[in-house]
Amino acid sequence: MLIGTSVELPDMLMAREARAAAQQDCQKAHPGCTLLSFGLNIPGPVKTNADLRRLFADGLHAIEERLHEGGWTILEQREHHAPTGDECLIAIEGEPSAIKRTMTELEEQHPLGRLFDIDVLDAAGHKLSRPTPRRCLLCGEQAQVCARSRRHSVEDLTSRINEMLLEYLHK
């Protein structure tokens, strides 16, 4: 089980609204930009703690490296840390579908990339879809199907995430 401050559904809904407003504000400040929104996919009531913050920082560093390697210019970067989760918005000069491909590769290649939630939005604010669906942490089936059907308990999912974090942080 993940240990930390628990959040409730109203907190998560308010955080989602604040994220959408921040995305709109960032795109107004940088018209025509591609926007990258980064957070972690963490089920259950605990969305951040010291270990998750470290994973977030490692993920953000990997994103920045990939953007640099791709030759994309970061116009602005905004981080937000709250009990509802760690988030970062990055306004980028670059072609959205190429950035999305690169970020999907990162999610699939990083040891804990399955826990990354990297959204790429085009200049109109439309979120680009992944070319392949995410896989469930526990059974390998399509994650959205497992989530919708509530196939696995939050306890089982957070236990698996804890195992993954411990292995990653102690390497």
pLDDT digits (tens, 9 = 90+) for 6-17: 999 999 999 999
CATH classification at residue 70: 3.30.70.260
Is 44 contained in some domain?
yes
Is 82 contained in some domain?
yes
30-34, 105-109, 132-136: least confidently modelled range: 132-136
Angle at 117 between CA 24 and CA 137, to 5 degrees: 155
Is 41 contained in some domain?
yes
pTM above 0.85, yes or no: yes
pLDDT band at 131 (very low <50, low <70, confident <90, very high): confident
Q: Which domain holds residue 40?
A: 9-132
User: Does residue 171 surpass a pLDDT of 80?
Assistant: no
Is 75 contained in some domain?
yes
In this predicted structure, what is the pLDDT of residue 61? 98
User: Does residue 156 surpass a pLDDT of 80?
Assistant: yes
* Number of structural domains found in the chain: 1
pLDDT band at 48 (very low <50, low <70, confident <90, very high): very high
pLDDT band at 24 (very low <50, low <70, confident <90, very high): very high
Average pLDDT, the chain: 94
User: Does residue 147 surpass a pLDDT of 90?
Assistant: no
User: Does residue 110 surpass a pLDDT of 70?
Assistant: yes
Is 154 contained in some domain?
no
Is 14 contained in some domain?
yes
Q: What is the rounded distance in angstroms from the CA atom of residue 63 to the CA atom of residue 48? A: 19
Q: What is the rounded distance in angstroms from the CA atom of residue 52 to the CA atom of residue 10? A: 22
- Alpha carbon distances (Å) from 61 to 28, 38, 102: 25, 11, 14
Is 90 contained in some domain?
yes
In this predicted structure, what is the pLDDT of residue 1? 58
Asked whether the beta carbons of 3 and 49 are under 8 A apart, the reply is: yes
User: Does residue 170 surpass a pLDDT of 90?
Assistant: no
Is 81 contained in some domain?
yes
